[in-house]
Structure 1
Amino acid sequence: MRKLSAALTVLGMAALGTVVPVSAAHAAETCSDNYSAATAGYMYAYDYVDCVGQLGKVSGNDSDWGVDSNKASSILNKGNFQEVQFFNGTGTGWTGGHTCLSRNEGYASDLTDNYFTSGYSANNSISSHRWVNASTCDRWAT
């Protein structure tokens, strides 16, 4: 019985050892890592800061994020030719406040310090986006 208990203890410790590195690797994930791995031509939205908890990725315009509305705390632009303009409203009229993310900037890792042109916080407030030329943007996410 003593040998069985010792064997179970060793197996339990070994199993725990495989879990800890995986968790540590996930915790080290950053927007920079995700940008490097992102598919060209797409924008990404994340539930948490530092590009953790991917909500989705899209290559075209999306006038209504549906269940993902008002959830993004970080965003990433791996677009080929244009910037991404994010709105705190829905619909193809593209009205209301906006903020943009340039291809050169690449990502905004923490939207808590970013605001729409309407003055509202961009954190957990994005409901739609479209691809635009830089001249269309009045405010930029950083």
Structure 2
Amino acid sequence: MRKIPAVLTTLALAALGAGVPATAAHATAQPAATCSGAWSGATPGYFYAYDSVNCAGFLGKAAGDDSNWGNSAGSFQGGDTNKASSVLNKGTSGMAVAVYNGTGTDWGGGYSCLARSEYYASNLSDNYFTSGAGVNNGISSHRWAWNSECYGNFLT
């Protein structure tokens, strides 16, 4: 007869224990991605690009220039070209990042810039390169540039 209460106590404790991890999992669930959170966690000195809005879907980061996001050289490679929907500038020099819809070190084609003081652009769907093409899913290269080189063409 003493075994039944012991078994029931063991089963009750096991059932209670099974409920605790589910509650703990909810308590530690990550919040939805935001550019503010991404900026806080970003490494100083880098430009970041993301596949989705609100700095979700990390594509890559770069401390230097990358003249062709579609090749196998540089920080951004292959499938990264024409995929960015949000970008972040955590540079330490005070420079802007100029993003281009063209490739090559002549930095031709349309461009737009993300000033260091702006931190990030969380949704590129309402931004345009100087060529008139949309920036969302249109970035093929980038370089660091002084704000004065951007001639007022900044991402918002």
- Provide TM-score, normalisation by structure 2: 0.78
Match of 1:141 in 2: 155
1:60 pairs with 2:64 = yes
Whether 1:70 and 2:107 are equivalent positions in the alignment is: no
Q: Which residue does 2:37 correspond to in 1?
A: 33
1:131 Cα offset (Å): 0.4
Change (3 A) 1:132 1:111: same
Shift of 1:89: 1.0
Give structure 2 stretches of 5+ with no counterpart. Answer: 1-7, 70-77
C-alpha change, 1:22 and 1:64, in structure 2 (3 Å) is farther
Q: Which residue of 1 aligns with 2:98?
A: 85
AA of the residue aligned to 1:119 = G
Which residues of 2 match residues 123-142 of structure 1 at below 5 A?
Answer: 123-138=136-151, 139-142=153-156
Cα separation, 1, equivalents of 2:47 and 2:26: 31
Size of the aligned set, in residue pairs, is: 139
Please give the secondary structure, in 1, of the residue aligned with 2:116: coil
Q: Matches of 1:93 and 1:11 in 2, distance apart?
A: 63
Match of 2:133 in 1: 120
* Counterpart code for 1:33: G
Instruction: Give 2:107's match in structure 1, choosing from 80, 94, 97.
Output: 94
> SS where residue 48 of structure 2 aligns?
strand
| Partner SS for 2:118 | coil
Query: CA–CA distance in 1 between the matches of 2:55 and 2:84?
Result: 9
Identity %: 51
**More divergent stretch after superposition (33-42 vs 43-52):** 33-42
Find runs of 4+ consecutive structure 1 residues off by over 2 angstroms.
6-23
Inter-partner Cα distance in structure 2 for 1:9 and 1:71:
47
Among 28, 43, 46, the alignment partner of 2:47 is 43
Superposed CA RMSD: 2.1
In 1, Cα distance between equivalents of 2:18 and 2:126: 44
**Aligned AA (1:141):** L
User: Of the two, which has the highest radius of gyration?
Assistant: 2
Give me the whole-angstrom Cα distance separating, in 2, the residues matched to 1:49 and 1:12.
37
Unpaired segments ≥5 residues, structure 1? none
CA distance in 2, matches of 1:9, 1:90: 60
